[in-house]
Amino acid sequence: MGALLGILHRMGAHHYCPLVPAPPPRFVTERGCTLHGIMGEFDTAQAVYAAAEKVRDAGYRRWDVHTPFPIHGMEDAMGVKPTRLPILIALGAFTGVGGAYLMQWWMGAVDYPMVVQGKPYAAWEPWVPIMFELGVLCSAFSALLGMLGLNGLPRHHHPLFTSERFLRSSQDRFFVVIEAEDQNFNPQRVRSLLESSGATHVELVEDDSVEVTP
Amino acid sequence: MSSIHPDRINAERLAGLATAPPVPTPGWDASLEDNPAVRPPLVLNNRTFTEVTDIICGYTENKPGKWWFPVFGFTATVAGCGTLLILYLLITGVGVWGLNNQVDWAWDITNFVFWIGIGHAGTLISAILCIFKQKWRTAINRSAEAMTIFAVICAGTFPGIHVGRIWMIWMVFPIPNSNSIWPNFRSPLLWDVFAVSTYFTVSLLFWYMGLIPDLATLRDRAHQRLLRSEQGPRVPVLGLRIDRIRANVYGFLALGWRFSSRHWHRYENAYLLLAGISTPLVLSVHSIVSFDFATSIIPGWHTTIFPPYFVAGAIFGGFAMVLLLLIPARELYPHMKDFVTLRHIENMAKIILATGMMVSFAYAMEFFIAWYSGSEYEQFAFKNRILGPYWWAWGTMTFCNVVSPQIFWFQWARRSPLTVFIISIFVTIGMWFERFVIIVISIHRSYLPSEWGMFHPTPVDVGIFIGTCGIFLTLFLLFLRFLPVFAMAELKAVLPHADPHGSHGIGA
């Protein structure tokens, strides 16, 4: 049971499923809230890019960079693996094309065969346009829903939104957040790492959805 | 404008000679820089991230200009009258249109093809230019995609109402029914149903995906204002703070986007793949629309050139509509000229010229093939276009689509917003007439003299078309008022200071 909970916690299931109890907090702030992580603020894209490389090289795993726009090459600076999204989209495309073929075959050649210009009932050629269109439709849905799903969205509440400074990540500021759930997390070391990487401001982010009873 | 020949500058660069930086003249749009040694800026006046956000969010957060309400009131009235006429048509029947035994497709299908064609420019900008890494598209893609969606809404109205019994329209979809019958999958009209509904859905998904980060920006700004002060504008009677509504509505739609780089990584991947699948989609949609005609045996419709010719025409007419919307907008909104520069207008004028030449070639090729085919019916159909009773429609089309864009061979014309605006009006009129010429002139004189007739539009025909123009403009004005007009995140990413390795490649 404990091992299963551990796996679920590592997957972050307690964030999504109310049935999974949250793990005991590793760090608690003075106010009695679970610590979500430590956030460093940067002024420029260059600074945050350099900082991301340092955090990656320091061996952290549960951390993220928040930027108002996608920074070119950031996935390399962070060491993010290539996404599996194209596989999902390909699955969507095959589903659409195959489904369209089966639908037209069953409806037009099996359930309600109709003579049109004396052609064979199961001629596939006139089915191509609809196979193409449904293939596109299903792959578009799998692109959007797959992107959101892999990103864990929609998730309207997140500890980071409690920080007023963080709201500028959507406009003109750049942030590096190292989460307390990371195995290497040590408040002092994280703080000095962020400061030495050129952060203009460092602050604690509390997870106020998880109150700790004293 | 640089008077030095570009080749000389290149030669000097290769020889290691430095060229003097150009002296800026007042009123000069720096995006028009044609010195190849200088990369022209995509956003003018060296805007910072903060300024870009403030300006673009300001369009929705501040009160609109004094022009907005009167214009919105007018277009909404037109849209309302058009909707009432549609209701009248549905209650009475399609007999309120001028259709007759001979001309049984006229303004309805003309308007359908006209509107669906307009949508194509938006997808071209968002998908095809994305694949070709045309960074200038970031300033116009959001509004062009919005235009696509609104144009497809107008387009979809016409096939829906032209069946007369709108309550039977579900029969075009393969839905199990008590008659135990299924649609005919060999009919191009059915392909069209799938093509247009897929096109609308995919355009909407693409647009929404682009909007998610920008909606999150509007959410965060509203939230910041709520945290900062107790005071702020409120809804008149309810007393609810407008920023509270913004934070909730934009927040709901933004799906909790938090600008994470891990998310951006998948987002960019999904965006590129969506662009990749939208590219064949947009080419297929107007091809399938053209199959509605090309697979019939009516002279004037039965041609294999239709698919590429329709796609080129759609892009031609669509860019004209983008310009018709953006040229007034950049005059009316503060600082919009920093984003929609003269370079954008010039590029779009070039696309209009290129696609206009393709359309002109198709017109000429139709006549050539009519002669070359040796079919006397085909030859008559094309003689009838020029010399028949609808000669004026053919003449308007030819003047607007073939002659008028030729002015874009001149640089001054491409760089003059007023000229581009006027030519765009011509092109829009011309493209409507192109569809009228193809549809009505081809069917109004069929094989037997007893099958000859004319089409006379009724006020309901005219009113419903003008009504859809009202619906289109009303939706666009609402878009300008309530949604981020530019793709802010994408626009910031093409600024020189967004480059994580310093701003190399910018400047001489």
Residues A84-97 pLDDT 10s: 999 999 999 999 99
Q: What is the pLDDT at residue A136?
A: 95
pLDDT of residue A116: 85
Q: In sequence order, what are the beta bridge partners of A33? A: A211
B261-296 per-residue burial string, b: 16 or more CB within 10 A, e: under 16: bbbbbbbbbbbebbbbbbbebbbbbbbbbbbbbbbe
Q: Hey, are the CB atoms on B498 and A155 less than 8 Å from each other?
A: no
Angstroms from A58 CA to nearest CA on chain B: 18
Quote the DSSP letter at residue B106: S
Residue pLDDT, tens place only, B206-250: 999 999 999 999 999 999 888 888 787 888 888 888 889 999 999
CA distance B188 to chain A (A): 9
Mutation target to probe the B interface, by most B beta carbons within 10 A, among A69, A80, A102, A106 is A69
Distance CA B47, CA B203 (A): 30
Q: Determine the average pLDDT of the residues in B86-99.
A: 92
Look at B198 and A151 and tell me if their CB atoms are within 8 Å.
no
Query: In percent, how much of chain A has pLDDT > 90?
Result: 35
Closest residue in B to A62 (Cα–Cα) = B262
pLDDT tens-digit map of A44-53: 899 999 999 9
User: Which residue is it, tokens 């070119």?
Assistant: A72
- Write down the ipTM of this complex: 0.89
- Taking an 8 Å cut-off on Cβ atoms, the answer to whether B209 and A77 are in contact is no
A185 domain residue, yes or no? no
Helix (H, G, I), strand (E, B) or coil at B43: coil
| Cβ contact, residue pair A132, B280, below 8 Å | yes
Say whether pLDDT at B502 is over 70: no
Report in angstroms the alpha-carbon separations of A7 from A1, A2, A13, A20, B441.
10, 9, 9, 11, 71
Find residue A174's DSSP bridge partners.
A42
Q: Is residue A189 part of a domain?
A: no
Interchain pair A164, B224: CB under 8 A: yes
Q: What is the pLDDT of residue B506?
A: 43
Q: Which two tokens stand for residue B118?
A: 């307009």
Q: Quickly state the pLDDT bin for B23 (edges 50, 70, 90).
A: low
What residue of B is the nearest CA neighbor of A65?
B261
Give me the pLDDT at residue B327, please.
Answer: 94
What is the full DSSP assignment across B9-24? HHHHHHTTPPPPPPPP
Query: What would the mean pLDDT of B290-301 be, rounded to a whole number?
Result: 90
Name which of B461, B451, B457, B458 is nearest B102 in CA terms: B451
Question: Is a pLDDT exceeding 60 seen at residue B20?
Answer: no
What distances in angstroms separate CA B423 from CA B344, B406, B419, one per listed residue?
16, 10, 6
Q: How confident is the model at residue B1 (pLDDT cuts 50, 70, 90)?
A: very low
| Rg value, chain A, Cα | 25
| Number of domains, chain A | 1
Q: How far is B482 from chain A (nearest CA, A)?
A: 18
Supply angle C-alpha B345, B143, B356, rounded to 5. 45
Residue A121 falls inside a structural domain: yes
A146, B270: Cβ pair inside 8 Å? Answer: yes
**CA–CA distance, A186 with B403 (Å, rounded to integer):** 72
Chain B contacts of A104, Cβ < 8 Å? Answer: 185
Q: With respect to residue A132, please indicate whether it lies within any of the assigned structural domains.
A: yes
Q: Which residue of A has its CA nearest to B251?
A: A156
Q: Taking all residues of chain B, what is their mean pLDDT, rounded to a whole number?
A: 88
The CA distance from B471 to B474, in Å, is: 5
Domain-embedded: residue A106: yes
Question: Nearest CA of chain A to the CA of B4: how many Å?
Answer: 35
Whole-angstrom distance, CA of residue A201 vs CA of residue B8: 50
Tell me the per-residue pLDDT of B35-55, one tens digit each, with 9 for 90 and over. 777 778 888 878 888 889 999
Asked, for residue A135, whether it belongs to a domain, the answer is yes
Owning domain of residue A135: 85-150
Q: Does B286 touch chain A (CB under 8 A)?
A: no
Q: Read off the tokens for B111.
A: 């308007």
Distance CA(A91)–CA(B348), nearest Å, equals 37
B501 and A46 in contact by Cβ < 8 A? yes
Q: Which H or E element spans position B148? A: helix B141-162
Q: Would A91 be classed as within a structural domain?
A: yes
Distance from the Cα of B370 to chain A's closest Cα (Å) equals 26
Confirm whether A172 is domain-assigned.
Answer: no
Q: How many whole angstroms separate alpha carbon B285 and alpha carbon B315? A: 12
The parts of chain A modelled with pLDDT lower than 50 are 213-214
pLDDT tens-digit map of B445-496: 888 888 898 999 999 999 999 999 999 999 999 999 999 999 999 999 888 8
Query: Average pLDDT for residues B148-153, to the nearest whole number?
Result: 94
B505 touches chain A (CB under 8 A): no
Q: For A212, which DSSP code?
A: P
